[in-house]
Amino acid sequence: VSTAVRISEIFLSLQGEGPSVGTPAHFIRLQGCTVGCHWCDTKYAWEPAGGRAIAPEDAIREALALGPASLLVVTGGEPLERPELPALLEAALEAWERVEVETSGVAAPPLSHPRLHWNVSPKLPAVTPRWQETWAHVAAWTAEPRATFKLVVGDAPDPEDASRLVREHDLPRERVMFMPEGLTDAAIRAHAASLAEICTREGVRLSPRLHVWLWGARRGV
């Protein structure tokens, strides 16, 4: 019997951010995160003992029963803080053509697979006192060819910090996206306008936040 995984929620939606934005996807949200971002939109997934514990194969079955999608997004919480993550990913790669993990990058990549993609969002200094820990393994993430870096950028000093950190860590710009911070359409629009200019200057991609535009800051989307 496989080790149980602690789940916050399982749903079917569109991938709202990053390189696969707009793609229909199953989502498995793992429970537990200690990174502490002040603008976090999933604070309900912070408590490591919250949610429910189920076998990975049951989580997969529950997701597949919601309808068809060739993409699975494993998100959190912070998936890298769950020791059950590798077992879940190995089982998931049997069931989906493509698997993506949303993470802050607070630990090194626990496994590599040709159909496993990582959306790594290291944090800027204004976001959490633990921001440096999310940059500690950035060389290992750069060495993982299927890792994309998605930096969430809000008001000053975020834009300057983001540009500086990309330079300091020599991130491959073709694998970097800046995404506007905001939990409302208005806030995202305000940040996106200035961010478009910064992305053009820095040679990095701009990621939308499709789910906030479509549905606002709601659970299960």
Task: Give the Cα separation of 220 and 136 in Å (integer).
Answer: 31
**Closest by CA position to 162, among listed 195, 192, 138:** 195
Please give the Cα distance from 125 to 30 (Å, whole number).
Answer: 25
Contact between 50 and ligand SF4 (CB under 6 A)? Answer: no
* CB closer to ligand SF4 out of 167 and 219: 219
User: What's the closest the beta carbon of residue 41 comes to ligand SF4, in angstroms?
Assistant: 7
Contact call for residue 35 and ligand SF4 (CB under 6 A) = yes
Residues 176-205 that bind ligand SF4 (CB under 6 A): none
Rule CB under 6 A: choose which of 18, 51, 56, 76 binds ligand SF4: 76
- Closest contact distance (angstroms) between CB of 135 and ligand SF4 is 13
Task: Report the C-alpha gap between 123 and 77 in whole angstroms.
Answer: 14
The percent helix, strand, coil of the chain (3-state, each to 5) is 35, 25, 45
| 33 makes contact with ligand SF4 (CB under 6 A) | yes
The residues that touch ligand SF4, with contacts defined as CB under 6 A, are 33, 35-37, 40, 42, 76-78, 104
